[in-house]
Amino acid sequence: MIFKLALRRLALGVITIFVVSVLIFSVTELLPGDVATAILGQGATPEAVAEIHRELDLDHPAYVRYGRWLEGFLKGDFGNSLTTNEPVSVQLVPRLMDTLALAGLAALVAVPLAIALGLLAAIFEDRALDKIISTFSLATISVPEFFMGYLLIIILATNLQLFPSLALVEPGMGIFERVYAMALPALTLTFVVMAHMMRMTRAAVIDVLQRPYIEMARLKGIKPWRIVIQHALPNALGPIVTVVALNLAYLVVGVVVVEVVFVYPGMGQYLVDAVSKRDMPVVQACVLIFALVYVLLNLLADIVGILANPRLRHPR
């Protein structure tokens, strides 16, 4: 049963990726202006423009170019950058690794901290600590990523001078140097996603704490923290793991603004630079990879949710 459900989710994910690829190609095709004219500048002649069209395969119908583009993407060939004439994959892979490293560092801090705060808020429901944690989570949810980034730059980089304001990561840096350089963007992402996970943890645990077997455990005199850790948390893992997976997807896809704020050399910064230079092969590759990562992590969240929920594993 689980295998069939996983196959259905996988098939839906493949269809979603296909639709997204069509949308990405169509939107980039509909953008105003001409790539050849942008490359050649104001002195472009019709002959030179036609030559660029032939070199870039722009003289073929859109559906032919889409088929070739999708086939190349499936083979790992994203084409060449229009600005550097280098294979996009050569430039893309290290930037993707940097983005995953930033998202991983943020997740390493955000996930355990969010679960711990959510458990504390559930244990002390409607008391002072719960209200403080809930107020903090609402405040962080309400603040946009770019504003949170600039706020941390002002406080931690400019005033306290604890961290660098720019996340300048270079090849060959040691792990501690790299983590130190990534501290502010990782902290920004932590604040952005931690609140959602914390609130879901709190809600899921409080819901389980209202069950009859929890009341029986209380009547037996079991300590509150043991009830939460040993009895409530395992039964609340389904929604918690699902929201964690969804926030991990957001971490990878939602880094664009944060990377631009801190000039971090990841996929987001690469995408913004490509858009400003109208480098369509780079734009298409970046957006499709972001979509692929998001769909895969959502698929993982669905499968984990099915495994954690017996009612989904054995529907009537």
Q: Average per-residue pLDDT in the chain?
A: 81
Question: Is the model more confident about 175 or about 51?
Answer: 175
Rounded to an integer, the average pLDDT of 294-313 is 71
In this prediction, residue 154 carries a pLDDT of 92
Rounded to an integer, the average pLDDT of 5-27 is 83
- Please report which residue ranges of the chain form alpha helices under DSSP H: 2-30, 35-40, 46-55, 62-74, 88-123, 128-142, 145-152, 175-181, 183-209, 212-219, 224-226, 233-235, 237-253, 255-262, 267-276, 280-308, 310-313
pLDDT(78) > 80 = yes
Would you say 182 and 101 are in contact if contact means Cβ atoms under 8 Å apart? yes
Rounded to an integer, the average pLDDT of 67-93 is 83
* The model's pTM: 0.81
β-bridge partners, 87: 80
Rounded to an integer, the average pLDDT of 45-63 is 70
How many residues does the structure list for the chain?
Answer: 316
Q: In which residue ranges of the chain is CATH 1.10.3720.10 found?
A: 92-313
In this prediction, residue 74 carries a pLDDT of 84
In this prediction, residue 312 carries a pLDDT of 56
Question: Is the model more confident about 55 or about 234?
Answer: 234
Q: Which superfamily is assigned to 92-313 in CATH?
A: MetI-like (1.10.3720.10)
In this prediction, residue 153 carries a pLDDT of 92
- Chain segment 127-146, per-residue pLDDT in tens: 898 889 888 888 888 888 88
**Cα distance between the two ends of the chain:** 12
- Chain segment 254-275, per-residue pLDDT in tens: 788 888 889 888 888 888 888 8
- Chain segment 152-161, per-residue pLDDT in tens: 999 999 898 8
**Which own/partner pairs from 188-191 qualify as long-range (CB within 8 Å, at least 24 positions apart)?**
188/145, 188/148, 188/149, 188/152, 188/258, 188/261, 188/262, 189/102, 189/103, 189/106, 189/110, 189/145, 189/251, 189/254, 189/255, 189/258, 190/106, 190/109, 190/110, 190/113, 191/140, 191/143, 191/148
pLDDT(308) > 80 = no
